[in-house]
Amino acid sequence: MWYVNSRQRNKMLRTHLSSIKSDENSAIQARLIFEAQVAFLVDCKDLLIEERIHKGGRIQQKMNKSRKKVENELLKKWIEHYAAIDWHIVNNSNEITYNVGN
């Protein structure tokens, strides 16, 4: 609850702080500065969390791309291997039929 209120008040705090003359209301200025700093730190933490999530997404995309590449290589080798076996059977079909008949 405090977090949501702090974020909403961030702009208002800075506006109020800039409207107070530097030599007036020191206690109010100190309070506004403190609250603005807290809101700033919360925003920085949010930014770091969002950046970490985004980086994690990029890492996951790279892993998926790499995995897809490996899967395609294995599939290609499998197809080439079994295609060669099929061609061998087609080319030597007379031998197989002859051997089966005996």
Q: What is the pLDDT of residues 25-47, one digit of tens each?
A: 788 888 888 888 877 777 788 78
Whether the Cβ atoms of residue 10 and residue 41 lie closer than 8 Å to each other? no
Domain ranges, ordered by start, for the chain: 2-101
Confidence check: pLDDT of 1 > 70: no
Residue with tokens 């395609």, as numbered in its chain: 72
Confidence check: pLDDT of 74 > 70: yes
Q: How far apart are CA 89 and CA 100, in angstroms?
A: 13
User: In one letter, which amino acid is 52?
Assistant: R
Q: How far apart are CA 84 and CA 78, in angstroms?
A: 10
Confidence check: pLDDT of 16 > 80: no
Q: Which two tokens stand for residue 79?
A: 């197809």
Q: Is the entire prediction scored with pTM above 0.85?
A: no
Q: At what angle do helices 2-19 and 26-91 cross, to 10 degrees?
A: 130
Count of alpha carbons within 13 angstroms of residue 97, beta-carbon side? 5
